């Protein structure tokens, strides 16, 4: 049997058409991967925001368990001495006594308490809900509070302290006009925090019910120009009644109106301000069913 050599030269590479097909396939794969990466990247801030809300929820629950109080108030007066003839001062004074049973508070200007809180210097300051969370969950310079007569004293090495219950990243703490910091969401807008006062009553602060958006210390101009009133499931029941509400304005940095809420309802539909709001009482954007 005679074997014949092939006279056809061996192939040493791709034809032009094959090369173009390979390039086209690679381009399609790159575009698909890029689209997926961009989608994930776009969701990154939302995932971070949901994690923030979840961690704040856990921190509030831990604070309540550790201190034995029922809630962290939605407004608070921080002062180095308290005028007990002022209802807001008296309510804040009483709350501090409940949180820190050993505290020695001053009730006259002649014997002020030294308070080591960033942004605070002397005069009484009215804190809104967000600032109140930063104060009680973070404590003195982010190191919690002492358990003695002066919980606002700077931390001593090895001291037994309350908290901190939440480690607020410095780059996401923004001072308000009163000098006290607020915790902002990933898009730069402060979270709104509302808490019950004595049950299903998120609209009550310092034992009084403000009208409209007149919540103590809550300055709309410092919340992107809009604020949300406490959200209700129906006219007589607040969302997460007897607990607390945490709300983010979402990517558009505009809060919905609050009040009676339903996904896709007034103020939360389509391109309405509240459509992309995030909260601790709905596991989607507030406009999504």
pLDDT score at 40: 46
Q: β-strand 278-279 against 244-248: which pairing, if any?
A: antiparallel
pLDDT score at 116: 83
* Mean pLDDT of all residues in 105-109: 87
Contact between 203 and 218 under an 8 Å Cβ cutoff? The reply is: no
pLDDT score at 243: 95
Query: Could you tell me the sign of the dihedral formed by the alpha carbons of 129, 134, 138, 141, in that order?
Result: negative
* 5: pLDDT strictly greater than 70: no
pLDDT digits (tens, 9 = 90+) for 44-97: 999 999 999 999 999 999 999 999 999 999 999 999 999 999 999 999 999 999
* Mean pLDDT of all residues in 106-127: 85
* 38: pLDDT strictly greater than 70: no
* Residue boundaries of the structural domains of the chain: 48-154+174-279
Contact between 104 and 153 under an 8 Å Cβ cutoff? The reply is: no
pLDDT digits (tens, 9 = 90+) for 15-31: 777 777 777 788 778 76
| Residue % of the chain over a pLDDT of 90 | 60
Q: Residue 138's pLDDT band (boundaries 50, 70, 90)?
A: very high
The answer for residues whose C-beta is within 8 angstroms of residue 249's C-beta and 6 or more apart is 185, 187, 189, 192, 223, 224, 226, 255, 273, 277
Q: Which long-range contacts (CB under 8 A, 24 or more apart) does 258-266 make?
A: 258/227, 258/228, 258/229, 258/230, 258/231, 258/232, 259/229, 259/231, 259/232, 260/232, 260/233, 260/234, 260/235, 261/231, 261/232, 261/233, 261/286, 263/287, 263/288, 263/289, 264/288, 264/289
* Mean pLDDT of all residues in 104-129: 86
Q: β-strand 231-234 against 259-260: which pairing, if any?
A: parallel
Q: Which stretch of 35-39, 108-112, 179-183, 190-194 has the lowest confidence by average pLDDT? A: 35-39
pLDDT digits (tens, 9 = 90+) for 172-193: 999 999 999 999 999 999 999 9
Query: Could you tell me the sign of the dihedral formed by the alpha carbons of 39, 43, 44, 45, in that order?
Result: positive
* 140: pLDDT strictly greater than 80: yes
Q: Residue 273's pLDDT band (boundaries 50, 70, 90)?
A: very high
* Mean pLDDT of all residues in 222-227: 92
Q: Residue 36's pLDDT band (boundaries 50, 70, 90)?
A: low
Q: Residue 134's pLDDT band (boundaries 50, 70, 90)?
A: very high
């Amino acid at each position: 049997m005679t074997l014949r050599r092939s006279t056809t030269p061996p192939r040493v590479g791709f034809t032009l058409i094959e090369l173009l097909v390979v390039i086209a396939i690679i381009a399609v794969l790159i575009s698909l991967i890029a689209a997926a990466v961009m989608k994930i990247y776009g969701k990154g801030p939302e995932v971070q925001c949901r994690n923030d809300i979840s961690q704040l929820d856990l921190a509030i629950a831990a604070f309540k368990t550790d201190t034995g109080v029922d809630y962290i108030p939605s407004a608070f007066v921080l002062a180095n001495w308290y005028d007990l003839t002022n209802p807001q001062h008296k309510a804040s004074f009483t709350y501090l006594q409940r949180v820190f049973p050993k505290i020695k508070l001053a009730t006259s200007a002649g014997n002020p308490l030294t308070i080591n809180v960033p942004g605070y210097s002397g005069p009484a300051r009215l804190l809104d809900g967000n600032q109140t969370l930063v104060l009680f969950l973070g404590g003195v310079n982010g190191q919690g509070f002492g358990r003695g007569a002066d919980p606002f004293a700077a931390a001593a090495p090895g001291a037994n302290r309350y908290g901190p219950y939440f480690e607020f990243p410095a780059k996401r703490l923004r001072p308000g006009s009163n000098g006290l910091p607020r915790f902002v969401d990933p898009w730069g807008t402060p979270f709104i925090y509302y808490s019950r006062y004595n049950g299903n009553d998120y609209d009550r602060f310092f034992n009084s019910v403000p009208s409209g958006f007149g919540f103590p210390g809550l300055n709309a101009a410092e919340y992107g120009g809009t604020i949300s009133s406490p959200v209700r499931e129906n006219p007589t029941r607040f969302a997460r009644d007897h607990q607390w509400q945490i709300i983010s304005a979402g990517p558009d940095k505009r809060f919905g109106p609050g009040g009676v809420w339903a996904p896709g309802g007034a103020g939360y539909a389509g391109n309405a301000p509240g459509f992309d709001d995030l909260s601790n009482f709905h596991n989607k954007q507030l406009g999504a069913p």
